[in-house]
Amino acid sequence: MRAVVAGGSGFLGSHLCEALLRRGDSVRCLDDFSSGRAENVRHLLRTPGFECVSCDVTARFRVAGEVDAVVHLASPASPYDYQRMPLQTLAAGSRGTENLLDLALRHHARFVLASTSEVYGDPAVHPQTEDYWGHVNPVGPRSVYDEAKRYAEALSMAYRRSEDADVGIVRIFNTYGPRMRAQDGRVVSTFVRQALAGEDLTLFGDGGQTRSFCYVDDLVRGLTAAIDSHRTGPFNLGNPEERTVRELAELVLLITGSSSRLRFLPLPVDDPVRRCPVITRARTQLGWRPLVPLDEGLRRTVEWFLAQPETLVRSPERSAVGWSP
């Protein structure tokens, strides 16, 4: 298989590129490096079948040669990124999705959209099944990401219905692991960075809000299962084991051995109170379920950060690029 992975130098994208190459596929990675990092895929440049191209998917582009799968991961995904790049986030979900769908259609290729649990907003139904329509504030501070993904899903389904495009939609819940940026605003990377630096761990509200944390290797297995399938979904991909944010903070302190304290801050606007996926559809139709326990995944993540201490102070600014045009 030859796969085009848009956003392939990002946290999830780089792991997906690795997984596809490991099983013998060839990969063309597209990225504008606005939130992805060149070093995430630098080690792949000598791998046969891999190429990385600097590309803005919101502009018109072409890919020469055969294409069997197109995976759309090209969007700012962390709170830090989509709040500093609101227009780019909306463009990635709209024009970017349309351009990548057109690419898949031209090549009769499978198209997989990486959507998000954010389409459920602050859910009024718990846990969340794929037939729940969500509870989203369309004008709130999180709306640029939430609504970009909701539009991307609608556009993908329109191509499915009107053009008979081979479309799959996955809704990704909180994912963590190596290659997260320490200062990207995600809760796992923030807690790990703060604990290793001896800073207070900052929790919003009383820390009682819940999330479901899925290790990146598990998530990538779900993505590859969606690529190999011809089912549309949408599919929830996440860990159905619900944890409070405070439980996560205490586990990070235990694993790191940090003496940091917990500091509680006011709850942000529209912060979801509870988030937990029902994964029955992914189990039955994709044969997927997460395998890595949270404590084991966090240990691997902490070990990665400790092995690369420069990542703890790196600012999340645009990476320098030296790739083919």
Contact present, 128 and 73 (Cβ < 8 Å): no
Start-to-end CA span in the chain (Å): 23
| Phi-psi category of residue 257: left, alpha or beta, with phi > 0 → left and psi -120 to 50 → alpha | left
Residues in CB range of 283: below 8 A, 6 or more apart: 289
Task: Give the C-alpha distances (Å, rounded to integers) separating 292 from 118, 186, 299.
Answer: 23, 19, 11
Query: Phi and psi of 256, rounded to 5°?
Result: -80, -15
Contact present, 249 and 201 (Cβ < 8 Å): yes
Q: Which helix (H) or strand (E) holds 195?
A: helix 187-197
Strands (E), the chain: 2-6, 26-31, 50-54, 69-72, 110-116, 167-172, 175-176, 201-204, 210-212, 214-215, 235-237, 242-244, 262-265
159 is catalytic: no
Distance CA 50, CA 28 (A): 6
Catalytic residue, from 82, 120, 132, 145: name it.
145
Contact present, 74 and 92 (Cβ < 8 Å): yes
Task: Give the C-alpha distances (Å, rounded to integers) separating 219 from 87, 214, 215, 249.
Answer: 27, 7, 6, 22
Residues with catalytic function? 145
